[in-house]
Amino acid sequence: MLLLFTCTLIGVFSLTFLRQLPTDVVLFVVLTGGLVFALRPFSRPVGFLLLGFALMGYAASAQLADKLDPEWLGRKITFSVRIDNFPVQDNGNLSFLVRPVDRPELPRIIRLSWYEVEVAPKIGEVWRLAVRLKRPRGLSNQGGFDFEAWLFRERIGAT
């Protein structure tokens, strides 16, 4: 059992060595091959390695697909949001995570920054806001904090 778990983890982490994600067709072929190999006792470790690779590939594809569509870039959009975390205030600026309520075409999690705040929203409240959204990007300092990687890990699809 430990061998199968280890093989699955190797499959999952082997995806990080690729420069780009495999296409859905390649992932489907790998998934199918993994299922075939996992059913045979002697090739089961290889099957679990392929299954780990394919499932992680599908998860990464889904996360990358949940980014802001370029057609919404820089445009003023008015929509309802649910405040998803406790707002953090720094030097009069407020940042918080929201989930769109009435716009399914937008990413599921958006990080908003609000300047010159008069009334701070509370977690769980629903607000109607007019915002300009950007794709999640940030500075990457070698040996320092990588803001774009943090946005990716937090599954934030727009800022």
Largest Cα–Cα distance in the chain?
A: 66
pLDDT tens digits along 17-49: 888 889 899 999 988 998 999 899 898 888 888
User: Can you give the pLDDT at residue 113?
Assistant: 86
Report the Cα–Cα distance between both ends of the chain, in Å, rounded.
Answer: 43
Q: The tokens of 112 are what?
A: 């908003």
Query: CA 152, CA 63: separation in Å to the nearest integer?
Result: 8
Give pTM, 2 decimals: 0.74
Residue listed under structure tokens 């679990």 = 48
Q: Is the pLDDT of residue 140 over 70?
A: no
Question: What letter does residue 16 receive in the DSSP assignment?
Answer: G
Query: CA 52, CA 54: separation in Å to the nearest integer?
Result: 6
What percentage of the chain has pLDDT greater than the value 90? 9
pLDDT tens digits along 73-104: 888 888 899 998 888 887 778 888 999 998 88
Q: Which amino acid is at 137?
A: R
